[in-house]
Amino acid sequence: MSGRLAGKVALITGGASGIGAACATRFAAQGARVVVTDVQDGEAVARAADGVFLRHDVTDEAQWTAAVDHAMRAYGRLDIVVNNAGVFTPAPIEDLDLEVWNRVLAVNLTGVMLGCKHGIRAMKANPGGPSGAIVNVSSITGFIGLASSAAYTASKGGVRLLTKSVAVHCARAYGKIRCNSLHPGVIDTPMNQAAFDASGDPDGMRAMFSGLQPLGRMASADEMADCALFLASDEASFVTGTELLADGGWLAAGGPL
C-alpha cells in the first residue's frame, strides 16, 4: 500500500475512541501498520485499520514493555508512537483530591513519559538505524490555565515541556528520532462529551465552547488526526521539539478559560 506512512509501524495509545481512533484509521489509510492500545475495548477500531489491539494501561511500565515488544515482534520495527491516552477530571485547586491529582498525572504525564522512553528504545533499534517520530497529545492548556481543572492543566503543561526535553535528547543522540506535541482546542470527542454531560447543561456547554473558538465550532477528531499525521510523516523531517496548535484560533484571540 502506498501513502504518506507507507512501510511504517505506528503504536497509538487511547486508540479505542476519539483522537486515537481517528489516528488509527487515518494512519492505516496512509499505509501504516497500526497497533491500537487502550484500557477500553479497541478491537473494532483495530479491525477497521487492519491492525492489532492490545489492552494497555499506560501507567504500567511492564505493559509498555509488552506493547512495544509486541509491535517489534509482529512487524520488525516501530516508527511512530502517538501518546494520546488521557483522562479529564474537573476540579479547581481548592477542591482537588490528592487521589484525583495522582491519577490524572499518572495517565496524562507519566504515561507519556513511558511512551517516549519505550518508543525510543525500539526506534533506536530499527533496521537501517535509529529513526522515528513521537507525537505527544497535549492541549491548549499546555499554554494557559483551565481554572476548573488544575490537575489536567498541570499534566498537559508537563507534556509540552517533556516533549522538548525528549526532542533535544533524541536529536543529539540519534539524529532521526523526532518528538513533537499536538495541542488541540475543544474537540468533539467522547471524553469532552462526558464533561459536558457532567455539567448538567450539555447543550449549553457545547454551545459555549463552540463560541469561544474564533472558528465558531469544535474540531473533529479527524482534523486532529490529520495534524498528527503531518508530525508523524517524513514531511515533518526537520520538525522536532515544537508545538502544533490546532485550536481554531482560541489562543490567538486571547480567549478565556
Which strands form 80-83's sheet, in the order they lie side by side? Answer: 52-55, 33-38, 9-13, 80-83, 132-137, 177-184, 243-246
How many Cα atoms are found within 13 Å in the side-chain-facing hemisphere of 142?
26
**Amino acid of residue 102:** N
Distances (CA, A) of 107 to 59, 85, 151: 6, 7, 11
Task: Give residues with Cβ within 8 angstroms of 183, minimum separation 6.
Answer: 138, 139, 140, 142, 143, 160, 243, 244, 245, 246, 247
β-bridge partners, 52: 35
Beta bridge partners of 246: 184
Q: Which residues contact 243 (CB under 8 A, 6 or more apart)?
A: 138, 142, 160, 163, 180, 181, 182, 183
Q: Choose, from 27, 53, 64, 152, the residue flagged as catalytic.
A: 152
Confirm whether 152 is a catalytic residue. Answer: yes
Max intra-chain CA distance, the chain: 54
Asked if residues 138 and 109 have their Cβ atoms less than 8 Å apart, the reply is no
Query: What are the catalytic residues?
Result: 152
